[in-house]
Amino acid sequence: MRSRVLRDIKARRAVVGKELERTIWRFLSRNTTIEPQIRMQAQLALNRTPREACPTAIKNRCILTGRGRGVFNQWRMCRFQFRMQALNGDLPGVDKASW
C-alpha cells in the first residue's frame, strides 16, 4: 500500500475515535446558556484535539493507487482504476455504456 493511503486510513480512524469527544466539546462551546468560563474551557479543549482527528482533514483518495484527484465517492477509486475494474467486470452492476 502507498503511504498516502495508509495516512488516509489512519486519519479516518482518528476521526471516528474522537468524534464523540469533539461533538461534546463543540456543543459545550456553542451553548450560550452556560457560563462563559466553561465555554472557553470547552473551546480550548476542542483546540487541543489532534489535527488529524478533524473531519475536514480527510481527503478522498483512491484505495488502489492513492491518487487524490478524480476519485468517485461511491467506489473510492480514481476514474482510471474505476474504468479498468469496470472493463474487467470486477464491479458488479457496472457496464460499459453503448448507444
**Same structural domain for residues 81 and 51?**
no
Q: Is there a domain that residue 98 lies in?
A: no
What is the tally of structural domains in the chain? 2
Least confident of 2-6, 36-40, 86-90: 2-6
- C-alpha cell of 5? 493511503
**Same structural domain for residues 42 and 67?**
no
Query: What would the pLDDT profile of 41-71 be if each residue is shown by its tens digit?
Result: 999 999 998 888 888 888 888 888 888 899 9
11 C-beta neighbours (distance < 10 Å), count: 19
**pTM, full prediction:** 0.67
Q: pLDDT: is 57 or 27 the higher one?
A: 27
- Looking at residue 35, its amino acid is E
Instruction: Identify the domain containing residue 35 by its residue range.
Output: 1-59
- Answer for the pair 60, 76: CB distance below 8 angstroms, yes or no: yes
**Same structural domain for residues 32 and 45?**
yes
**Same structural domain for residues 65 and 55?**
no
Angstrom distances, CA of residue 10 to CA of 6, 16, 22, 35, 45: 6, 10, 17, 36, 22
Least confident of 34-43, 65-74, 90-99: 90-99
- C-alpha cell of 42? 470547552
